[in-house]
Amino acid sequence: MASTLPMACSSPSSEGAGLACGGPALAAAVAALVPCSLCETDGGLLVYRNAEFRVIQASEAGFPAFYRVVWNRHVSQFSDLSAAERETCMHAVVVVEKVLSSELQPARVNLAALGNLVAHLHWHVIARFDWDSHFPAPVWAAPQRQPEPAKVADIASRCIDINRLIAEKMAL
């Protein structure tokens, strides 16, 4: 029995062809059925919120200084924002990065806006240390060494004040 998938894919006018091919129609259909976790919840410990965005401290084991700047309105791409909104969003990312840098003196602060798993615009702002379990690889890669619980706990305790500082600087 011949597969009908190639026929459906080769016929752009066929109803549902986009679904069979996994194209934009499929993405739209899936998006309509799957609830967005960042529309339904804050996505972590809420540090700051205004009408446009929020800053949360993510709950990522071994990475207590892992923050996200989440755009409140559901958009999937940075380019979906207006020029003024992009400026506002990046200003928030920079504020979080500067607070983490000045308060923790990490080896690096990683910035990323992937959206592969959660297609809701959010920026990851992650303080990285040369002793962290994954450094210098990304936090999503395989660990490079065992975690150092005492150092992780120290950073976690300092994040209480960091959260307050981020909220204060955002409110200015």
The parts of the chain modelled with pLDDT lower than 50 are 1-20
Task: Give CA 136 to chain center in angstroms.
Answer: 19
pLDDT at position 115, please? 83
150 CB burial (10 A radius; 0-12, 13-18, 19+): exposed
**Half-sphere exposure of 29 toward its Cβ, with a 13 Å CA cutoff?**
11
Q: Which two tokens stand for residue 92?
A: 């928030």
pLDDT at position 6, please? 37
- What are residue 169's phi and psi, to 5 degrees? -70, -35
